[in-house]
Chains A and B, each alone.
Chain A
Amino acid sequence: MSDVVEKTLTALPGLFESQTGAAKITNRLRQLIKSITELTSKHEEENLIKRELSAIKEQVSSPNTTMKQMREIMVRAMYCEMLGYDASFTYIHAIKLAQQGGVLEKRVGYLAVSLFLNEGHELLLLLVNTVLKDLQSTNLIEVCMALTVVAQVFPKDMIPAVLPLVEDKLSHPKEIIRRKAVLALYKFYLIAPNQVQHIHAKFCKALSDKDPGVMASSLHIYLQLIRESPDSYKDLTGSFVTILKQVLGGKLPVDFNYHSVPAPWLQIQLLRILSLLGKEDQSTSELMYEVLDESLRRAEMNHNITYAILYECVKAVYTIHPKAELLEKAARCIGNFVLSPKINLKYLGLKALTYVVQHDAKLALQHQMTIIECLDHSDFTIKRETLELLFRITNAQNVTVIVEKMLDFLCYVPIKTLTFAPDNSWFIQTMNDVFSIGGDLLQQDDPNNFLRLLAEGKPEEDDQLRLYAVESYLTVLKGHTSHLPQCFLQVMSWVLGEYAHLQESVDRREVIRLLTQLLDQRSVSSETRVWILSALTKIPEGQTDLILDLAESLSSSQDTVLRQQAQELRHLSQDSQLREWVLVENSCAVDSSLSFLDGFVSEALAAGAAPYKPPHQRQEELSLNLEPYSFSLPVSLSSCSITDRQSPTLLSVSSGLSGNSAELSTLILEGVKRVWGKDGYLPQKEATAPPVDEPSAAVQPASQQEAAERIEPRPEPSTQNQDKQQLASSLFVGLGVGSSVSLLGKSEAPPPRFRKKPRPHESSSSSGTSKRSSDSSSRSSRNTTDSFLYGSFPEEEPATSISTFDHTPKSTTANGLSQNKDTKEDRHANTSQILGGDMVIVRPSTIQDKHPPSVSSDLTALLPADLKDLPHSDVISLTSDPSLSLSSCRLFRDEALLLVIFISNCTETVIKDVAVQLTCEELKVCTGNVMDCLEARSTSVCHYALLMDDPHTNVSLTGTVSYQTQPGHTNTLPFSGTLSTADFIRPLVVTTEEYGKLWLSLSHDVKQNLKLLTDAGDPLRTTLNALKDALQLHVVDIIGSEGIVACRLLSGAPCLLHCRVNGAALAMWLRSPHPALPDFILYHCQRALAHH
């Protein structure tokens, strides 16, 4: 229990004294709760509750206990049950309390009954008489309680007994009783529909009840009835429409308002009923067009509840017989949802889209960029809904891309949800499915993580899991195996090798036979064969004959690794002593002090060997050795080896020692072609040449090999946005009317100067050749990398929840409204421009732009002279309405991000009092602008300096522009967008020496392996340049297989990156004084490389 609770507990007596009599609590319960909060362990709690329960038992069986005391006891018993303890001996007393107590006792008794007993409990039989009695009581409270309890827990076969009495209550003078009776009948209808069939006529009376509460309650029943047979209730359509009209017109008592929306629950219920009635029925649908239109229009307020109604309304519009005008309005509403920064609304937007694309797949086109953003969302609920949406728009053209996305997701899920796996069998079964379906599309880490999970568990707990895995894999292997992906085979062989011995009943020969069978299959890759052989090595001895046969047959294999393994296998199976020594079963204690080497070391020392030196000392000596070679080096570099002494370079040096030219590899210089080394002529080195690791049982080396195999030629590198657009085009292909597809391909592709040049074909680049992409283009290409998606909202629906803007004047005067109406009509033609916002590319060609946004290149010319020279991003259109259009551009100044907003007047008249408001929770926003007037057809510029003190992955930005077209009528135009940390990263220019000093002084570090780009000559250089292009980093130095890079958050915290090529991966080590900064930079690096 939290200490907050404890603290408050001490203040409790006073707290409760001050409260009304209603809130007074029983002393014993208070004691009980208090002592529970003071406990420290579950065990103590159990003991305490046990004592409490036995005390309760004693009290309830004592004849002296009064009803009032019984009430207190029952509350305590309920509390114990809620904590999960069994208090079933009190059940009968609960019924007694309901039977015999006064009103207050009865209430607690009924509550206890409804909590303790569920519909099937036999004790409920004893309750029937009490309920009957109370239903006939003259005391309204008792009748209410009886109705509540029959609606809560009542056995199906007891319904006939109480039904007539409940039915009678439908004509009770008090509306509260009528309402509860209707709901009780609704519950009866749900559990036993046939028993209430005869009272349908009475429901009709409830529907026309003068009390809105009773009427609203009857809608639950009608919704159910209409869902089952819509045709029988068509004649009621008129009534439902009238009711909805009255609700919308504010005819209900104010009591029914919820946050000043009239009876929202009632509205939603009616909309659902209407959509059921109007489905596939034109004439019925026609009756409701008007009210649906009104409903869409009325829901203006910016509150969850209006969105809930809107959502239901949109669904209704798309369910009933279609009407073009309504569909258009509804589609615009969906835009509001999808573009909302509020995640709940976004989710609902996706859900609505999922629903409507079944009727009109083209709607997804408008929101494709949002959909793609959502695919990468960190929240699984959002991701799932997005996939659901994609599933709905799957067609022959995009099926492969969509299925791939789904598999990605599928593969991602089980690993993540491991902790929630309800049981072992489900988990293994699911992983089997994932491996066999997802197979080689899986992230390379996934099989490893899975195996680690199996391996790291405690022996007692997880043997169950392992056993199950062994069993299930044996079954899999007995079936057809030729179609199974390699990684699944590898996983299976590893598990069988490690854990087959756990399963007593399994014949080892059988395991060996199955594995050997795999070896014979042609589809099995040589890497997998290595796994299988390793597994066979681990299977305990005793089957020497089989193993020898196998070793024999493999000894003629063409694969050297296999031959070697077969050889090892033979030796091991023949020499059981060696075997025991090599393969220690189960637990082996690790002696981290390596004391067993003491004898060997002292012998060697005595024989004159040099004493052991820690790596950094060794390196110092090495640097001396290097003197002769450093003549040709720039000065900074010779110091590098010293400053780097404690930096991660030592890792590579020590590991490199085993290789043949370690020192040399750390010396490789930019632009220096190295032909001769210490040992003479240096042959060309492979970019990635990890030594073939010993095919041991370890998972790691194999995964490296796997990774090396995995690297395929990548498509021409493109910027992130292009990637997304490409993804979009492949996902949404075939949805539009053909025009959309071609539009994607050409018109809006970024100008060629922003596109990176295709990499020159690498035929014979030596490892030393520097391969830098031209610096001049790196800045500009960076501009397009980060998406700066600005969603725009149609003006007549105020942007969601920008509470800070509540005070901004809205057009509420009569004149203003009519003007709004005008704009609305204008908007009809313009829908896609407005909804599209940033997604101009996909605009169906059929819709003409009335107000084309100004050409972006013109706008940059308007930048103030002092800002013109700063590196800047593309100009993006933010939002527009018939009068104004807004665009923005980001300028990267050293100490801040400048957000420049261009406001263009599209009209022929002067617009006055243009004020831009910009807010952002996470950032500091400096300076704001108000312009007195904006001449016709002119553009004004205002800029904001944005400062980021603490890094955030994505920062959302909202704002409004308010302006006056005529005096006294203020219009507002909302806009929003996101910025990423990457916009706030600036290069940190330091020398290698400074870097070294700084490195040692920084405290927070993060290490991670990143993808290495291997599509061009020098992988390290290519990767670093790609990172430099994507984020504004400063590459300090590149030495051999290592590179050092520096950047900072604006002019604040620095972050140093140390990169080292490690096989097929880039080992990145980040350090910064800011605890969170390395994570964010790492995140952006990952993204940049993933999108490369």
Chain B
Amino acid sequence: MRFMLLFSRQGKLRLQKWYTATAERDKKKMVRELMQVVLARKPKMCSFLEWRDLKIVYKRYASLYFCCAVEEQDNELITLEVIHRFVELLDKYFGSVCELDIIFNFEKAYFILDEFLMGGEIQDTSKKSVLKAIEQADLLQEVLIYCYIDQVDL
């Protein structure tokens, strides 16, 4: 995966994760263009589109668009499921997640994403273990970390 973007129906960026080195200026330009293209698509159109040399896979959840850029030869459907799994994770973590959760806790959303994808590849398909890792990091204080980890068996 090259990058993942979350943006609202109004075209506000909510989250961006780039898995390949991209210059800041290019990022901004790509985000702007891509939002325009994706937002212009009608609801019944398919979730994939070819854009530049990339394949864009997007899905809308309520007011939020989740948008991934993958390579041409990648499997679009599984990317769609990556998005869905990410949403499931957010949902589980925030408890029926809404756009506001992601706006106000965007750093948490990043942590979840980092625990789910690493270097653009999915690192764990088990929902439970991703959330366990996040929650531990959330709750942990500097003291007694070691015992704690052993206790819950990460």
* Option from A33, A344, A378 in Cβ contact (under 8 Å) with B103: A33
Contact yes or no, A176 B118, CB < 8 A = no
Fill in one digit per residue for A272-287: 1 if any B CB lies within 8 Å of its CB, else 0.
0000000000000000
* CA–CA, A216 and B124, complex, Å: 8
Contact A263 B124, beta carbon cutoff 8 Å: no
Q: From residue 247 to 303 of chain A, which have CB atoms closer than 8 A to chain B?
A: 253, 255-256, 258, 263-266, 268
A407 at the interface (CB under 8 A from B): no
List residues of A (204-253) whose CB comes within 8 Å of B's CBs.
Answer: 213, 216-217, 220, 253
Tell me whether A744 is interfacial, beta carbon within 8 Å.
no
B47 touches A180 (CB 8 A): no
Q: How far is the CA of A216 from the CA of B121 in the complex (A)?
A: 11
Give the chain B neighbours of A256 by CB distance below 8 A: 125-126
A378 to B46: give the CA distance in the assembly, Å. 11
Question: For the complex, what is the distance from the CA of A312 to the CA of B75, rounded to whole Å?
Answer: 7
Q: Which of A296-345 contact B (CB under 8 A)?
A: 304-305, 307-308, 311-312, 343-345
Question: A381 to B81, Cβ gap below 8 A?
Answer: no
With known contacts A1-B12, A216-B125, A305-B81, A190–B48 Cβ distance under 8 A: no
Within 8 A of A (CB), among B44-95: 44-50, 63, 75-78, 80-81, 85, 93-95
Choose one: B108, B122, B133; the contact of A22 (CB below 8 Å): B108
Q: For A213, list chain B residues within 8 Å (CB).
A: 123-126, 129
Residues of chain A with a CB closer than 8 A to B75's CB: 268, 308, 311-312
A803: interface (CB < 8 Å): no
Q: CB distance B44 to A120 under 8 Å?
A: no
A1-B10, A139-B145 known; A220+B121 contact, CB < 8 A? yes
Find the B residue at minimum CB distance from A139: B145
Contacts of A144 in B (CB 8 A): 133, 137
Max chain A C-beta neighbours (<10 A), residue from B85, B114, B123, B138: B123
Give the complex CA separation of A217 and B121 in angstroms.
8
B111 & A102 in contact (Cβ 8 Å cutoff): no
| Interface check A754, CB cutoff 8 A | no
A102–B106 Cα distance when bound, in Å, is 20
**B66 → A minimal CB distance (Å):** 14
Interface size class of chain B, counting residues whose CB lies under 8 Å from the partner chain: 35 or more
Q: Report chain B residues within 8 Å CB of A382.
A: 46
In the complex, the chain A residue whose C-beta lies closest to that of B121 is: A220
Count CB-based A-B contacts (< 8 Å): 196
* B30-47 to A contact mask, C-beta < 8 Å, 1/0: 000100110000101111
A419 to B108, CA, bound (A): 36
Mask for A372-393, Cβ within 8 A of B = 1, else 0?
0000001111101000000000
Q: Are A111 and B110 in contact (CB under 8 A)?
A: yes
Please indicate the chain B residues that have their CB under 8 angstroms from the CB of A381 in the complex. Answer: 45-46, 48-50
Are A179's CB and B124's CB within 8 A? yes
A2 at interface by CB-CB < 8 Å: yes
A882 to chain B, nearest CB (A): 32
Q: Which chain A residues (1-24) contact chain B, with CB distance < 8 Å? A: 1-2, 4-5, 8-9, 12, 15-16, 19, 21-23
Q: Which of A75-83, A594-602, A973-981 contacts B (4 or more CB under 8 A)?
A: A75-83
Complex contact B76–A23 (CB within 8 A): no
Whether a CB of chain B sits under 8 angstroms from the CB of A535 is: no
- In order of increasing CB-CB distance, the 9 nearest A-B pairs are A308-B77, A187-B119, A119-B21, A255-B126, A343-B46, A308-B78, A379-B45, A183-B118, A151-B119
Binding site for A on B (CB under 8 A): 8-10, 12-16, 18-19, 21-24, 28, 33, 36-37, 42, 44-50, 63, 75-78, 80-81, 85, 93-95, 98-101, 103-108, 110-111, 114, 118-119, 121-129, 133, 135-142, 145-146, 149, 154
Residues of A within 8 A of B (CB): 1-2, 4-5, 8-9, 12, 15-16, 19, 21-23, 25, 29-30, 33, 75, 78-79, 82-84, 102-104, 107-108, 111, 114-115, 118-120, 138-141, 144, 148, 151-153, 174, 176, 179-180, 183-184, 186-187, 190, 213, 216-217, 220, 253, 255-256, 258, 263-266, 268, 304-305, 307-308, 311-312, 343-348, 351, 378-382, 384, 419-420, 422
Other A-B contacts than A8-B98, A308-B81, 19 sampled, CB-CB below 8 A, are A22-B138, A23-B101, A75-B107, A82-B13, A111-B111, A114-B114, A115-B110, A120-B21, A140-B146, A152-B19, A176-B129, A176-B133, A183-B123, A255-B127, A307-B77, A308-B77, A308-B80, A344-B76, A346-B46
